[in-house]
Amino acid sequence: MCLAFPAKVLEVEGDLATVERSGVKRKASLMLLPEAKVGDYVLIHAGFAMQVIDEQELKIRDALVAEMNGAPRSVNLELGIRN
Amino acid sequence: MDTSELIKKINRLAEGKKKLRIMEVCGTHTVAIFRAGIRQILPDNVELVSGPGCPVCVTNDDYIDTAIAYALEENFIVATFGDMLKVPGSRSSLAAAQAQGSNIKVIYSPLDCIKIAQDNPNKKIIFLAVGFETTAPTAAATVLSAQAKGLKNLFMLSAQKLVPPVLKFLLNSPDFRVDGFLLPGHVAVVIGADAFNFLSIPSAVAGFEAEEILLAIASVLEQIDNGRAEVANKYPAVVTAAGNVTAQKILSRVYEVADSEWRGMELIPNSGLRIREEFAKFDIEQVEPVKIEKVKKKNACRCGEVLRGLVNPTQCPLFGKACTPSRAVGACMVSVEGVCAAWYKYGSNNFRW
């Protein structure tokens, strides 16, 4: 039930935003997160943006997912992403 | 610190200690823990126990029976998240009602109900508002949105539950024996990490990737090691101390705290939500109540004890025999995030029971 995913805000129209994740776009309501702006990464749950996500943290999550899919080790949890 | 060092740290902290039980209170954690093999990698004396973290699983028979009663009537359309369909009521399920021709629609967001209501002006649309604090504000926002649009045919059947009161209830139960909590990350997004400060045992708010869960486990063990008990926020990317204040405000505008019955437990004071008087016209139970027959189901299902972390699913005589995901007897086997369903899917042969 509580499946939330991070997505980038592409457009805002009133309290409705267009968000994008891995090339998939959909509408999400900003009723619960009116402060979200274009360019923010937000957590989407059941069609609503719930919180703005720290971009560096999101990069770490994406890198972790990439590691699970076979990418070489790149994340160090305390130091962040290795360059 | 990379994963192997984190695991070494966990081993070091657990060494020489008595058996430690850490409870996760989130269905998504339960599944993530199994999927990543975290149980297998933990030291022998650290046990993970699943608590009442799946909102579908803690929804009681009466609620399902009521939803079915509405669905069987011609003039209603019941809209629900997909994982409610197979949940057994006292006699039937929404999936069975759907097979009998009831109009039940699976939706992704409660806001989808707005369009269904606009497209079906002659029907009454009921959204099954089930969930914890993460999902509850989305139903409240939908009510406000329906009000703003002047919709008169959209209603809620509400049975949302609150996590802090059930943790309090568990801590006060005489048979409850757990040494720490992994707290649900996305509930904390809404209510804030500080909402858990009343907890008297070591706790950590956890994210959902394997390493984030390990970090939270390490934090709980560290607290046990130091003899401290606090709420560590190990999911700071999205969890703040105060949470999402807008969501809290919208929720408390539409809903007020009420006593609520949890499957397998009992009536827990102030552990649920009901629609405020001001929004009563969106509450189907006030607008058009249905009568259901109260039935006490009799079978050997031990869901209630599983949900309180008293027994493992394999200690239930029905587990994997009479009760499987395709023919579930208990609610914990129904939802993909249910404790029994996760044990059934990931448990066999992969680790020692």
Sequential pLDDT tens for chain B (353 residues):
678 899 999 999 999 999 999 999 999 999 999 989 999 899 999 999 999 999 988 998 899 999 999 999 999 999 999 989 988 888 889 999 999 999 999 999 999 999 999 999 999 999 999 999 999 999 999 999 999 999 999 999 999 999 999 999 999 999 999 999 999 999 999 999 999 999 999 999 999 988 899 999 999 999 999 999 999 999 998 999 999 999 999 999 999 999 999 988 889 999 999 999 999 999 999 999 999 988 777 788 898 899 999 999 999 999 999 999 888 888 899 888 899 999 998 876 555 54
Is residue A1 domain-shared with residue A39, that is, in the same domain?
Answer: yes
CATH of the domain at A5: 2.30.30.140
Is the distance from CB of A20 to CB of A6 less than 8 angstroms?
A: no
3-class SS shares of chain B: helix, strand, coil, % to 5: 40, 20, 40
Task: Look at residue A74 in the predicted model and tell me its pLDDT.
Answer: 74
Best probe of the B interface among A21, A31, A69, by most B CBs < 10 A, is: A31
Sign of CA dihedral B301, B54, B262, B73: negative
DSSP, collapsed to helix, strand or coil, labels residue A81 as strand
Q: Is the pLDDT of residue A83 over 50?
A: no
Q: Do domains B3-55+163-233 and B61-160+243-287 have the same CATH topology?
A: yes
Which residues from chain B sit within 8 angstroms of residue A52, using beta carbons?
238
Range of the domain at A65: 54-83
**Integer Cα distance of B136 and B339 in angstroms:** 22
Quote the tokens at residue B39: 């149980």
pTM strictly above 0.80:
yes
Is residue A6 domain-shared with residue A35, that is, in the same domain?
Answer: yes
DSSP, collapsed to helix, strand or coil, labels residue B192 as coil
Pairs across A and B, CB distance < 8 A: 112
Is residue A11 domain-shared with residue A42, that is, in the same domain?
Answer: yes
Is residue A7 domain-shared with residue A27, that is, in the same domain?
Answer: yes
Q: Is the pLDDT of residue A78 over 60?
A: no
Is residue A10 domain-shared with residue A28, that is, in the same domain?
Answer: yes
| DSSP class per residue in B23-78 | EE--HHHHHHHHHHTHHHHS-TTEEEEE-S--TTTT--HHHHHHHHHHHTSTTEEE
**Integer Cα distance of B77 and B94 in angstroms:** 12
CATH architecture, domain defined by B3-55+163-233:
3-Layer(aba) Sandwich (3.40)
For residue B312, the tally of other CB atoms under 10 A from its CB is: 19
Is residue A29 domain-shared with residue A47, that is, in the same domain?
Answer: yes
Is residue A61 domain-shared with residue A45, that is, in the same domain?
Answer: no
CB contact under 8 A, B209 and A29: no
Q: Is the ipTM of this complex over 0.85?
A: yes
Which CATH number is B61-160+243-287's, of 3.40.50.11740, 3.40.50.720, 3.40.50.2300, 3.40.1000.10? 3.40.50.11740
How far is the alpha carbon of A53 from chain B, nearest alpha carbon, in Å?
5
CB contact under 8 A, B237 and A53: yes
Overall domain count for chain A: 2
Tell me which residue has tokens 């093999």.
Answer: B37
Distances (CA, A) of B4 to A9, B9, B219, B224: 35, 9, 16, 21
Task: Look at residue A34 in the predicted model and tell me its pLDDT.
Answer: 97
The predicted model gives A34-61 an average pLDDT of 91
| A47 in contact with B, Cβ within 8 Å | yes
How far is the alpha carbon of B174 from chain A, nearest alpha carbon, in Å?
30
How far is the alpha carbon of A48 from chain B, nearest alpha carbon, in Å?
7
| A76 in contact with B, Cβ within 8 Å | yes
Quote the tokens at residue B207: 């994210």
Is residue A66 domain-shared with residue A82, that is, in the same domain?
Answer: yes
Task: Look at residue B298 in the predicted model and tell me its pLDDT.
Answer: 73
Is the distance from CB of A46 to CB of B110 less than 8 angstroms?
A: yes
Sign of CA dihedral B334, B337, B342, B345: positive
Task: Look at residue B353 in the predicted model and tell me its pLDDT.
Answer: 46
**Integer Cα distance of B233 and B27 in angstroms:** 19
Give CB contacts under 8 A, 24+ apart, made by B118-121: B118/B149, B118/B151, B120/B77, B120/B153, B121/B153
Q: Is the pLDDT of residue A69 over 90?
A: no
| Domain boundary assignment for chain B | 3-55+163-233, 61-160+243-287, 303-343
Nearest chain A residue (CA) to B337: A1
Task: Look at residue B88 in the predicted model and tell me its pLDDT.
Answer: 84
Task: Look at residue B348 in the predicted model and tell me its pLDDT.
Answer: 60
CB interface of B with A, residues 279-318, below 8 Å: none
How far is the alpha carbon of A4 from chain B, nearest alpha carbon, in Å?
8
CB contact under 8 A, B186 and A43: yes
